[in-house]
Amino acid sequence: MKIKVIVHEAEEGGYWAEVPAIPGCATQGDTFEELLKNLYEAVEGCLSVDIEEPKSSGRVFEIAI
């Protein structure tokens, strides 16, 4: 899977990044390498959050991407 991120230079030094496709998914790092490591962890964490299943008479499927 490919996902776009926006990387910003932090005012206090280092970097921070946000993932527009995943609302609320953001992280930071003192170095660019640390930021990348933290980005992988942040995206994985944001995508692994359990979401309450909707209450309806429709079918609910779970898929792996």
CA 47 vs. chain centroid, Å, equals: 7
Rounded-to-integer distance, Cα 9 and Cα 1, Å: 25
Pull the structure tokens for residue 9.
Answer: 């230079």
Domains in the chain, CATH or no CATH each: 1-65 (3.30.160.250)
DSSP 7-63: EEE-TTSSEEEE-TTSTT-EEEESSHHHHHHHHHHHHHHHHT---PPP-SSS-----
pTM: 0.70
Question: Is a pLDDT exceeding 70 seen at residue 27?
Answer: yes
> pLDDT digits over 48-62, tens only?
876 665 566 666 666
User: Which phi and psi angles does 16 have, rounded to 5°?
Assistant: -140, 155
